[in-house]
Amino acid sequence: MKDTKREKQVWKPGNMLYPLPAVLVSCAGTDGHSNILTVAWAGTVCSSPPMVSISVRPERYSFAMIRETGEFVVNLTTEKLAWAADLCGVKSGRDTDKWKAARLTPVAARLVRAPLIAESPVNLECCVKQEIPLGSHTMFVAEVVSVSVDAAYLDGKGCFHLDEASPICYSHGRYYTLGKAVGKFGYSVKSSISRS
């Protein structure tokens, strides 16, 4: 009989929750100057009201802008935006105009001063509700106050197909496109096949 036991190796505590969304966060100061930073530590925290979080190191150039205005935009990334996402994560806005360097287009947002990234398929305008210093990073918990989507990914019935934009994620220092769908919400209880 084949031994199906797998040996586990214990490592020191660390951030091993992968893959993660690699999002471009745009922000602007009260002086109108704007910047983009790449954030992999981002996620959904509440559905009603819709809320997200991003975690940013205080030494990042964008940190002061977000703290000053209490606003930012989460822009989802795609395979076509992978290079720009990487550049915006390794260059500093202190000495680089990331809009120009990454060849991205700022577009006025509906409700916040931070611009949207035109090339992103989804833009979430966010207003900070809570700032939580955690150590190396500070978490900004924010309410999503407006959502913009690229009409190119809407079908004739108005359904949005983000998969057609080829979204990417980040894992252990690399960017990946998403693979094929392996299930749909609720399919485990709708299936006639019993699993034990």
Tens digit of each residue's pLDDT (9 = 90 or more) over 145-167? 999 999 999 999 999 999 999 99
Peptide bond into 115 cis (omega under 30): no
- Examine the pLDDT at 1 and tell me if it is beyond 80: no
| N-terminal to C-terminal alpha carbon distance within the chain | 20
How does the average pLDDT of the chain come out, rounded? 93
Q: Is 160 exposed, middle or buried (0-12, 13-18, 19+ CB in 10 A)?
A: middle
Domain boundaries along the sequence of the chain: 20-190
| Per-residue confidence (pLDDT) for residue 187, from 0 to 100 | 86
| Per-residue confidence (pLDDT) for residue 2, from 0 to 100 | 60
Q: What is the largest CA-CA distance in the chain?
A: 70
What does the buried/exposed string (b/e) look like for 78-104 if buried means 16 or more CB atoms within 10 Å of the residue's CB? beebbebbbbbbebebeebebbeebeb
Q: Which residue has the higher pLDDT, 151 or 6?
A: 151
Q: CB-based contacts of 69: which residues, under 8 Å, 6+ apart?
A: 27, 28, 29, 30, 112, 113, 114
Superfamily of domain 20-190: Electron Transport, Fmn-binding Protein; Chain A (2.30.110.10)
Q: Is 128 helix (H, G, I), strand (E, B) or coil?
A: strand
- Examine the pLDDT at 18 and tell me if it is beyond 70: yes
How large is the average pLDDT for residues 49-78?
97
